[in-house]
A and B are shown apart, each in its own frame.
Chain A
Amino acid sequence: MCHCSDCQTLSGSAFRTNVPVASGTFALLNGEPKTYVKTGDSGNQVTHAFCGDCGSPIYSRTSTEPPEYSLRVGTLDQRAELMPARQIWCSSALPWAMDLTGLAQNPRQ
């Protein structure tokens, strides 16, 4: 999970939830995402891919050789089986984001 301000803005939410892809296993099955290149503080460039029609964020890809892919867990069919192992950029985490237990829970809307 990443709480950095870029992830907050680019997800529109409190944090992003990502999972790295084992090298060489990423395959685009259909469609062609739009891409946005973000340059980090380090100077490294990361390409962010999203659907140009609905805006769903799909993956990020480093500019290394070979490139490393990271997937957006919210788009994964198996997301209910995945648990985060660590949180980064906690220095910019929204104050409430790590504990929702006190908030009312409506099953539907």
Chain B
Amino acid sequence: MKVTGSCHCGKISFEAEIDPEQVRICHCTDCQTLSGSAFRVNAASLPGTFVLKSGTPKTYIKTTADSGTHRSHGFCADCGTPLWATSPEPNPPPYGLRVGTLDRRAELKPSRQGWYRSALAWSQDLSDVSRIERQ
């Protein structure tokens, strides 16, 4: 499935092919902090399909993964939108795209949740939280 995405201010845009069956939620504490929210939702690009169409993201090398692996996190230095995570290897590397930045995000549904051991308890079921259509 081809996806396109961009940051909020529009300086950075990209496209890639993804497997829509492999969208994942991550509840790790790094994802909570780096999104400022309860969890992140990611979709891995298929090898060699990621194309940066405009802009130059800033990168943050995260060293706190449990595995010890260093991950390069791309974000927009102007608006702060988190864009993807990638690694130096393999070549070409997959990009873990932030689903919130994808134009087709309403068509994607996660298939599983990772790092569930640090999930915020309420994140699983919001049916009891009052809903307002707008503000």
Contacts and interface: CB of A to CB of B under 8 A. Distances in A.
A87 B116 contact: no
Interface in A63-109: 72-75, 79-80, 83-91, 94-101, 103-109
A12 B81 contact: yes
B80 A50 contact: yes
A9 B8 contact: yes
Interface string A1-26: 10000101111111111000000000
Interface size class on chain B is 35 or more
Contacts, number: 181
Sorting the interface of chain A by its residue count into under 10, 10 to 19, 20 to 34 or 35 or more gives: 35 or more
23 contacts: A8-B105, A9-B6, A9-B7, A9-B81, A13-B35, A13-B37, A13-B39, A15-B37, A34-B77, A50-B80, A54-B62, A58-B36, A72-B37, A74-B32, A74-B36, A74-B37, A91-B133, A91-B134, A98-B129, A100-B124, A104-B111, A104-B112, A108-B117
